[in-house]
Amino acid sequence: MESDHLIVTVQEKQLFEQLLEWVIANKDWLFSGIGVAIATWIVRFLYMRGQKGPSQNIQSGENTTNIQAGRDVTYKSEPNRDDVKKK
């Protein structure tokens, strides 16, 4: 019967021990403000490495105007003759 426990190779164990020794040796700057920022950037980079960015989809009907943007859209239109009330 195969065990459900995690199997760790000797190389993985040595790598983890080296990483732990490095963290202990560099704990002063690692946990300061700049170290946390760098560590966060590295972890995010490794996590996002294989992922694509967000995608946008739009469906439109006939005779429609659709505007799609990743952020704010400012649209300024001039009044149409039919929009202005006659005196």
Average pLDDT, the chain: 77
Contact 49, 43 (CB under 8 A): no
Asked whether residue 1 carries a pLDDT value surpassing 50, the answer given is no
- CA pseudo-torsion sign 37, 38, 39, 40: positive
Task: Look up residue 58 and give its two tokens.
Answer: 């739009």
Instruction: Tell me the C-alpha distance between 23 and 13, whole Å.
Output: 15
Distance, CA of 84 to CA of 38 (rounded, Å): 58
For 37-63, what is the mean pLDDT?
A: 79
Following CA atoms 24, 26, 29, 34 in sequence, which dihedral angle do they give, to the nearest 10 degrees?
-100
73: CB partners within 8 A, 6+ apart = 67
pLDDT of 4 > 70? The answer is no
pTM above 0.75, yes or no: no
pLDDT band at residue 18 under the 50/70/90 scheme: very high
Q: What average pLDDT does this structure show over 5-15? A: 81
Give me the mean pLDDT over the 28-47 stretch.
82
